[in-house]
Chains A and B, each alone.
Chain A
Amino acid sequence: MQLYRAHVLVCGGTGCVSSGSKKIEQALTDELAKQNIDKEVKIVETGCHGFCEMGPIVIVYPEGTFYCRVAVEDIPEIVSEHLVKGRIVQRLLFKAPVTEEQVPSYKEIAFYKKQQRVALRNCGHIDPEDIKEYIARDGYEALAKVLTGMTPNEVIEDMKKAGLRGRGGGGFSTGLKWEFASKSPGPKKYIICNADEGDPGAFMDRSVLEGDPHSVLEGMLIAAFAIGADEGYLYVRAEYPLAIKRLKVAIAQAEEMGLLGENIMGSGFSCRLHIKEGAGAFVCGEETALMASIEGSRGMPNPRPPFPAVKGLWEKPSNINNVETFANVPVIYLHGADKYASVGTEKSKGTKVFALTGKLRNTGLAEVPMGITLREIIFDIGGGIMDDKKFKAVQIGGPSGGCIPEQHLDTPVDYDSLTALGAMMGSGGLVVMDETSCMVDVAKFFLNFTQKESCGKCIPCREGTKRMLEILEKICDGNGVPEDITTLEQLGKVIKNTALCALGQSAPNPILSTLRYFRDEFEAHIYQKKCPAGVCTAMLEYKIVAENCKGCGACARVCPVGAITGEKKEAHTLDTSKCIKCGSCIEKCKFNAIVKG
């Protein structure tokens, strides 16, 4: 084996690829050759590091130096300074948001410090297209252990002991799910991986598939052994081309090494895995719709019972778990169920990956132990609110989730505590909002999403979400009436009680939770015809504060409709009948002379 004195890890996740990591990798290859050290330094294209906002990310080992927002022009300097002379390129280091302190090491960055990476253990550290790197990190060892020394029942018992719960949103016990499928009689069973990730802002499943595809395959194989399946599908959304490519590579490599397919590791256990690309429907993440889609039908949910464990794909007993769930599986058998269960809260074990987005200083993927508080996630890992604004709410769980206000930030996060607060774990999307976000507008955004993605099968979801959305639009347009709040609550209750699938049943959550915590904002829209956050344009009026106006004319020049007039060096006036409320004038004014409200 060739030995190298240094490894340069270039992130090849979708985020960094979009910000140009491919070009950086090429430049590095050229520069290493030019400086004649290409035999000493190895470049590894890895999966996602989760800190996509700082991309393209380059990490140099053995030091673990974390360079961010690297450009092609920086490459010669990195090579000649760091790799040749051993001097760290200070200006490319990560700067801590508040202290502006430069942090040289990966592990010292606040974003990573509180994280505990289990599902993401290999993401960013190995070349996802090389099975040997996965094996070097104890890959497929858990499978070997299971196939050679455990019975399916023991596998299920261990899973129950570990207490892993479905990471896709439902939070159902994985061990119980496996047990149901294993007890279902029949010679033919299927194992299915749900990789139809679709919540706005969530991308943990994509990162796992792109950065560590073998962990998912290994998890699936262990599950297949436990339930007695000999065939499986990975249902991946077609919008994830890189994930699909890497999965294909992973499947081919695993098959070649006898780790997948017929007679795996000579144990007599066989399992084949196929990839099925989705066709763009959010609802296909619902398990019955997903199976309908694999079968070639329109992706529409079907009522349960019968549960997939009894009558699933092609009417055979099937077990569906999410990507992140499968990625956790090998770890449980490698280090033991008790060790796994030692992390987390009483009813939610292990870690959970959250996708941090919104008005945060640090956005990206963060894997944290269950039981951590929202405050730690948002203020320690996320670095707090951008531009020193005030925190208002955090939306958890995607379109099925809810908004949680400041007073509940110290609640330990787990499946049950979030549900009690009117939100849900969901897939772990976490959108942070500050004082400039209007909660009615936020509720409208999420409802618009569910309404568009409703499959149209059941009346409460198809027609009910439409009417709720129309009411919210009316409120945002300043035409709300007092009865609207009652109607929203009543309609929300009926939809929750009667919709067919989880998408419909949870569709009212964003509204019901905002009504619970931010009722005053709804009331301000309806009674005072005011949007307190200054978002709903219909209720805004722009005004020039005469005493602050210096008459510089910058606003008048930028106004696209000529609504601002005035003599030079004299206070200007704004004609509200012409104003289209675009906000350009406020951005231009240096004297805070223009206000909206």
Chain B
Amino acid sequence: MADINLTINGQKVTVPEGITVLEAAKQIGIDIPTFCYEKGLTAPGACRICVVEIKGWRNLPPSCITTVAQGMEVETESPAVVEARKTILELLVANHPLDCLSCEKSGNCKLQDYSYRYGVASQTRFEGEKHEFGIDDSNPYIYRDLNKCILCGKCVATCRAVSDRNVLDFAYRGFNTKIATFMDTDLKDSTCVYCNRCVAICPVGAIVDKTMMGKGRGWELEKKEVTCTFCDSGCKFDVNYKDGKFMGVTAKSPDQGRPLCLKGRLGIELIYNPDKSELPLINKDGEFVETSWEEALGIAPIIEKLTAQKK
């Protein structure tokens, strides 16, 4: 492949043909913010936060889908670019709950990071309607607060990457656009299998791992990567510790072809959680209670017979 010579922020750079401006900038250590772009998965060019200024171009093109060209002169932080990014952030903040004090994602949230980087405060120029979607707390694994959703669409793309899932998509139009399951139900009533691949990829606090809620800030947790051995897919998980104490297992953003699954995550938890009971749980009158393996497996009568035989 031919080499392309271009200038980014006045710096001359030579990169291979076919890569994007975003990737070229990254090669020389220039970080361009992104919401909807995920390497190897999706680049819908939707969020427009990665726009840059290219000499001679009419508008501000998104760097994540603009391929490099010979002699291109790119500015990644020009006044027009910064103004656009600030405005986009202000628009997002104006329609965001801003409960960063208690939000699970605080410290690990792209909206928070970029607002800090571009000096966007919680009080913006825009006071108006905010979303008032009900919170989906219908299941034990995923807590979904669509009021925090910035509609980057990465959850839709990652869910669609496994052909038999495809649980999520965009629904409605205009300001009312939201991510929804089929017939816009809670996750509980959808075909969701709680693999948490969407949780792992969400840049904000819209979809979070419910089992980890309140257990520690991102920066407090120590993570140990493990590979699941339940099947031959080899999915990766993080085992999370706080002050050396086991906190939980979380899904890692899956590579291509890795399905992730609930069974794998819970299985790993069983292995790594020292407090996990060795005994099975059984559903009695709607509540899970500890019981013996004999009862859980329904083999108590057989064991009884065997014991009687022994005698």
- Interface positions of A (Cβ within 8 A of B): 281, 298, 300, 302-303, 451-460, 462-467, 470, 483, 487, 490-491, 494, 496-500, 505
List the B residue with the shortest CB-CB distance to A457.
B46
Q: Tell me whether B262 is interfacial, beta carbon within 8 Å.
A: no
Q: Which residues of A contact B59 (CB under 8 A)?
A: 496-498, 505
Q: Tell me whether B261 is interfacial, beta carbon within 8 Å.
A: no
Contact of B173 among A454, A458, A463, A464 (CB under 8 A): A454
Do B170 and A300 touch (CB < 8 A)? yes
B7 CB, min distance to chain A CBs, angstroms? 21
Q: Tell me whether B174 is interfacial, beta carbon within 8 Å.
A: yes
A484 CB, min distance to chain B CBs, angstroms? 10
13 A-B pairs (CB sep. < 8 Å):
A302-B45, A456-B170, A456-B175, A458-B46, A459-B46, A459-B91, A459-B92, A463-B92, A466-B175, A490-B87, A494-B83, A497-B51, A500-B45
Q: Tell me whether B128 is interfacial, beta carbon within 8 Å.
A: yes
> A459 and B150 in contact (CB under 8 A), knowing A298-B170, A498-B51?
yes
Do B48 and A467 touch (CB < 8 A)? no
Q: Which residues of B contact A303 (CB under 8 A)?
A: 44-45, 62, 65
Q: Which residues of A contact B48 (CB under 8 A)?
A: 458-460, 498-500
B131 CB, min distance to chain A CBs, angstroms? 11
Q: CA separation between A451 and B175, bound complex, in Å?
A: 7
Q: Which of B60-113 contact A (CB under 8 A)?
A: 60, 62, 65, 80, 83-84, 87-88, 91-92, 94-95
Do B94 and A487 touch (CB < 8 A)? no
Q: Identify the 8 closest CB pairs spanning chains A and B, nearest first.
A: A456-B177, A303-B45, A463-B91, A470-B128, A494-B87, A467-B126, A466-B175, A454-B174
Do A455 and B91 touch (CB < 8 A)? no
List the B residue with the shortest CB-CB distance to A449.
B174
For the A-B complex with A451-B174, A460-B87, A464-B91 known, give 17 more contacts whose Cβ atoms are closer than 8 Å: A302-B45, A452-B174, A455-B170, A456-B172, A457-B46, A459-B47, A459-B88, A459-B92, A463-B94, A463-B175, A466-B129, A466-B175, A467-B94, A491-B87, A497-B59, A498-B84, A500-B45
List the B residue with the shortest CB-CB distance to A280.
B173
A315 CB, min distance to chain B CBs, angstroms? 16
Q: Which residues of B contact A463 (CB under 8 A)?
A: 91-92, 94-95, 175
Q: Tell me whether B169 is interfacial, beta carbon within 8 Å.
A: yes
Q: Which residues of B contact A458 (CB under 8 A)?
A: 45-48
Do A466 and B46 touch (CB < 8 A)? no
Tell me whether chain A's interface is mostly helix, strand or loop, or mixed.
helix
Q: CA separation between A494 and B87, bound complex, in Å?
A: 7
Which residue of A300, A459, A462, A464 has the most chain B CB atoms within 10 A of its CB atom? A459
Do A453 and B44 touch (CB < 8 A)? no
Do A460 and B91 touch (CB < 8 A)? yes
Q: CA separation between A46 and B174, bound complex, in Å?
A: 39
A492 CB, min distance to chain B CBs, angstroms? 11
Q: Which residues of B contact A451 (CB under 8 A)?
A: 174-175
Q: CA separation between A387 and B42, bound complex, in Å?
A: 57
Q: Tell me whether B151 is interfacial, beta carbon within 8 Å.
A: yes
Q: Which of B9-47 contact A (CB under 8 A)?
A: 44-47
Q: Which residues of A contact B170 (CB under 8 A)?
A: 298, 300, 455-457
List the B residue with the shortest CB-CB distance to A459.
B88
Q: Which of B133-191 contact A (CB under 8 A)?
A: 150-151, 153, 169-170, 172-177
Q: Which residues of A contact B126 (CB under 8 A)?
A: 467, 470
B79 CB, min distance to chain A CBs, angstroms? 12
Do A456 and B173 touch (CB < 8 A)? yes
B38 CB, min distance to chain A CBs, angstroms? 16
Q: Which residues of A contact B125 (CB under 8 A)?
A: 483, 487
Which residue of B44, B94, B151, B174 has the most chain A CB atoms within 10 A of its CB atom? B174
Q: Which residues of B contact A300 (CB under 8 A)?
A: 170
Do B44 and A302 touch (CB < 8 A)? yes
A449 CB, min distance to chain B CBs, angstroms? 10
- Interface size bucket, B side? 35 or more
Q: CA separation between A456 and B59, bound complex, in Å?
A: 20
Q: Which residues of A contact B176 (CB under 8 A)?
A: 456
B4 CB, min distance to chain A CBs, angstroms? 16
Do B177 and A462 touch (CB < 8 A)? yes
Q: Which residues of B contact A496 (CB under 8 A)?
A: 59
List the A residue with the shortest CB-CB distance to B178.
A456
Q: Which residues of B contact A459 (CB under 8 A)?
A: 46-49, 88, 91-92, 150-151
List the A residue with the shortest CB-CB distance to B93.
A463
Q: CA separation between A460 and B90, bound complex, in Å?
A: 10
Q: Which residues of B contact A497 (CB under 8 A)?
A: 51, 59-60, 80, 84
Do B44 and A455 touch (CB < 8 A)? no
Q: CA separation between A483 and B150, bound complex, in Å?
A: 27
Q: CA separation between A453 and B44, bound complex, in Å?
A: 19
List the B residue with the shortest CB-CB distance to A484.
B125
Do B151 and A456 touch (CB < 8 A)? yes
Q: Which residues of A contact B92 (CB under 8 A)?
A: 459, 463
Q: Which residues of B contact A462 (CB under 8 A)?
A: 151, 174-175, 177
A289 CB, min distance to chain B CBs, angstroms? 12
Which residue of B65, B87, B92, B176 has the most chain A CB atoms within 10 A of its CB atom? B87
List the B residue with the shortest CB-CB distance to A490.
B87
List the B residue with the shortest CB-CB distance to A464.
B91
Q: Which residues of A contact B153 (CB under 8 A)?
A: 457
A419 CB, min distance to chain B CBs, angstroms? 12
Q: CA separation between A494 and B89, bound complex, in Å?
A: 12
B120 CB, min distance to chain A CBs, angstroms? 13
B77 CB, min distance to chain A CBs, angstroms? 15
> A455 and B84 in contact (CB under 8 A), knowing A470-B129, A498-B60?
no
Q: Which residues of B contact A505 (CB under 8 A)?
A: 59
Do A460 and B173 touch (CB < 8 A)? no
> A457 and B44 in contact (CB under 8 A), knowing A298-B170, A496-B59, A498-B59?
yes
Q: Which residues of B contact A494 (CB under 8 A)?
A: 83-84, 87-88
List the B residue with the shortest CB-CB distance to A463.
B91
Q: CA separation between A452 and B83, bound complex, in Å?
A: 26
Q: Which residues of B contact A457 (CB under 8 A)?
A: 44, 46, 151, 153, 170, 177
B98 CB, min distance to chain A CBs, angstroms? 15
Q: CA separation between A356 and B177, bound complex, in Å?
A: 33
B238 CB, min distance to chain A CBs, angstroms? 30
Do A298 and B175 touch (CB < 8 A)? no
Q: CA separation between A302 and B174, bound complex, in Å?
A: 16
Which residue of A462, A470, A500 has the most chain B CB atoms within 10 A of its CB atom? A462
A482 CB, min distance to chain B CBs, angstroms? 13
Q: CA separation between A462 and B176, bound complex, in Å?
A: 9
Q: CA separation between A408 and B95, bound complex, in Å?
A: 40
List the A residue with the shortest CB-CB distance to B156.
A298
A444 CB, min distance to chain B CBs, angstroms? 14
Q: CA separation between A464 and B129, bound complex, in Å?
A: 12
Q: CA separation between A454 and B84, bound complex, in Å?
A: 19
Q: Which residues of B contact A500 (CB under 8 A)?
A: 45-46, 48
Q: Which residues of A contact B173 (CB under 8 A)?
A: 281, 452-456
Q: CA separation between A451 and B60, bound complex, in Å?
A: 22
Q: Which residues of A contact B94 (CB under 8 A)?
A: 463, 467
Which residue of B65, B94, B125 has the most chain A CB atoms within 10 A of its CB atom? B125
Which residue of B49, B60, B88, B176 has the most chain A CB atoms within 10 A of its CB atom? B88
Q: CA separation between A498 and B170, bound complex, in Å?
A: 21
List the B residue with the shortest CB-CB distance to A281.
B173
Q: Which residues of A contact B44 (CB under 8 A)?
A: 302-303, 457
Q: Which residues of A contact B83 (CB under 8 A)?
A: 490, 494
> A456 and B174 in contact (CB under 8 A), knowing A303-B45, A500-B45?
yes
A311 CB, min distance to chain B CBs, angstroms? 13
Q: Which residues of B contact A281 (CB under 8 A)?
A: 173
A295 CB, min distance to chain B CBs, angstroms? 14
> A466 and B128 in contact (CB under 8 A), knowing A453-B174, A457-B44, A500-B46?
yes
